[in-house]
Amino acid sequence: MFFVRTAGERDLDKVRTLMRETLHATLNVLHVADEAEDLIAAETSPEKLRAALKEKGSEFLVADSGREIAGMGYAMMSRDFAKTAEIRWILVHPTHQRQGVGRDIFAELETCFPDAEILRLEVDARNRAALAFFNAHGMVEIDRIERAGGPAPLTLVLEKALGVD
């Protein structure tokens, strides 16, 4: 059983390993190997993870069994949109997917931002598994961003109203 809790400095090495393995499993299908490795290296640098952990107005979560970390989530209040929390990451290691870990992380992130009225994220349109997960949790497409030559040629913007039962 995994419990979702706030991440700490001592978790960062395990989180980095989890992120690298999970992102490789996803991105190696969507990108050429060198592109995937460049993206993963940029997102999982120790400096970037440490900065995220300390970011004001953010929540960095892990799903922890006491022996291993199966998933992580990171969200923060938007700098661009009022009363909006932005999910940057929800990742669950491939060996623990479809066991409720992602659901538990998502549910916790929904409650971490009492001033937020909207939960927002961007996802590569080719990532069908992520789209299915977020749609199943009430996120709906509100926009599309086309980026010629970028790592994600079409990015979907998803949102969910918070505090609406």
Q: Mean pLDDT for each consecutive 10-residue tract of the chain (165 residues)?
A: 96 94 76 68 90 95 96 96 96 95 97 96 91 96 82 85 78
Output the pLDDT for position 148.
65
Output the pLDDT for position 42.
83
- Cα–Cα distance for residue pair 5/15, rounded to 1 Å: 13
Q: Coil, strand, or helix at residue 12?
A: helix
Inter-helix orientation angle 33-43/12-30, to 10°? 150
The dihedral through the CA atoms of 111, 44, 15, 25 has a sign that is positive
> Domain residue spans in the chain?
3-161
How far apart, in Å, are the Cα atoms of 123 and each of 46, 143, 145?
A: 23, 11, 10
**CATH code for the domain defined by 3-161:** 3.40.630.30
Output the pLDDT for position 124.
87
Question: Is residue 63 within 8 Å of 72, Cβ to Cβ?
Answer: yes
The dihedral through the CA atoms of 59, 125, 99, 39 has a sign that is negative
> Which H, E and C letters describe 148-164, residue by residue?
CCCCCCEEEEEEEECCC
Q: Which phi-psi region, left, alpha or beta, contains residue 98 (left: φ > 0; alpha: ψ -120 to 50)? A: left
- Cα–Cα distance for residue pair 69/19, rounded to 1 Å: 11
Output the pLDDT for position 49.
94
Predicted TM-score of the model (pTM): 0.90
